[in-house]
Amino acid sequence: MASAVLIENLQKSYGSTVAVKNISFKVEPGEIFGLLGPNGAGKTTTIRCLCTLAKPDAGKIEIGGLSVIEKPRQARKKLGYVAQEVALDKILTGRELLELQAALYHLPETGSKQRINKLLQLLGLEEYADRKTGTYSGGLRKRLDLAAGLLHQPDLLVLDEPTVGLDIESRFIVWDFLRKLREAGTTVLITSHYLEEIDALADRLAIIDRGEVIAEGSPSELKDRVGGDRVTLKIREFSPQEEAEKAKEILQNVPFVEEVIINQAQGNSLNLIVTHGNSSLSKIETTLEEIGLPTFSIAQSRPSLDDVYLAATGRTLMDAELAAAGSRDLKAEKKQQMKQI
């Protein structure tokens, strides 16, 4: 059976900006696959190429064995796309939007009425169906967009950052719904820069950084691969840099401690990598006491996806986010994108 999605050596630049340097990954039928990476890593560009909205500079893209580049129209029939920013015509009602969508996918009128009702019901939208979408909340808009993406029963549903800007409740509703979709046999590809989202949903994932895949596998595989346990230690709620440096120096000499990283984004807390099953939190605390430092909090855990990201890139996802936020010119990016649409 062909992979649900096959992307090989995808490359895409906008002018002189390289958005996707070299991305390859495979999504198997029936799984939820996550693309994880900080903003600006190339996730959306990859998705745009996959959904026939942008033409790749090089590389191979297939949906269910069908080349998206050679047969875009057939590929479009197989995929549903839920964009990051929900674009609804605010003058139309939810139902009218779905009716338009049904016609764009050439569903016969009789069957599509039923299907629209069914999806409105499944997504808890019946009450709102005949109101203008301009009155919808963010959560309702996202649900309507999900309904629109699923109207033609695609093999593959692609969601770009499905829960950005949603409240917690809506977020869980979307998660729940995506799991239900997987159960029903639909392949789901989501991008996210939320670790917990990918961790909670994805059967497998690829981590993308600066236009390249830096890791691919199931969440547990990837975590096991980095090895060790993680200890997060705060000397005080906010420690001065020198104090953190001092603690780092002494802790590096503890036998079971493999590495110490100062996390500036978290008030100079210390992230320790320790040998799995052979470490002691009290030993760490006493070591600090000996040089006169208190312990505000200390916790041990198995590695998270963030540790996977950290191991591969040398920075945490949040640091990457912050760095990207500062260096990104959203206006220029929007301009570049307009040239493509």
Partner 1 sequence: MSQSTITPSNLENSLSPSSLVGDRLESDSSILGEFAQETIALTKRLFIQLQRRPSTLIAGIIQPMMWLILFGALFYHAPQGLFGDDMSYGTFLAPGVIVFTAFSGALNAGLPVMFDREFGFLNRLLVAPLASRFSIVAASTLYIISLALIQAAVIVIVSGFVGAGWPSLVEIAAIALIIFLIVLGVTALSLGLAFALPGHIELIAVIFVTNLPLLFASTALAPLSFMAGWLQIIASLNPLTYAIEPIRYLYLNGDWSLSSVVMQTPWGDLNFGSVLLVLLGFDALVLLLIQPLLRRRFA
Verify binding: residue 325, partner 1, rule CB under 8 A.
no
Q: Which of residues 81-120 bind partner 1 (CB under 8 A)?
A: 81, 83, 85, 87-89, 91-92, 96, 99-101, 103-108, 111-112, 115, 118-119
Q: Is 333 exposed, middle or buried (0-12, 13-18, 19+ CB in 10 A)?
A: middle
Q: Which of residues 113-142 bind partner 1 (CB under 8 A)?
A: 115, 118-119, 121-124, 127-128, 137-140
Verify binding: residue 74, partner 1, rule CB under 8 A.
yes
* Residue 125, token pair as written in the block: 């939208």
* Residue 234, token pair as written in the block: 């705060």
Angle, to 10 degrees, between the axis of helix 281-290 and the axis of helix 241-251? 120
Select the span of 154-162, 267-275, 287-295, 307-315 touching partner 1 (CB under 8 A): 154-162
Verify binding: residue 76, partner 1, rule CB under 8 A.
yes
* Residue 147, token pair as written in the block: 């309904």
Residue 9 or 153 having the CB closest to partner 1: 153
- Local structure of 253: helix, strand or coil: coil
Q: According to CB under 8 A, which one of 18, 69, 261, 318 is a site residue for partner 1?
A: 69
Verify binding: residue 20, partner 1, rule CB under 8 A.
no
Sheet bearing 297-301, strands edge to edge: 257-263, 269-274, 229-234, 297-301
Verify binding: residue 167, partner 1, rule CB under 8 A.
yes
Instruction: Give dist(CA 224, CA 83) in Å, integer.
Output: 33
Q: Are 37 and 208 in contact (CB under 8 A)?
A: yes
Residue 106 or 292 having the CB closest to partner 1: 106
- Local structure of 254: helix, strand or coil: coil
Q: Which of residues 169-228 bind partner 1 (CB under 8 A)?
A: 169-170, 173, 176-177, 180-181, 183-187
Verify binding: residue 234, partner 1, rule CB under 8 A.
no
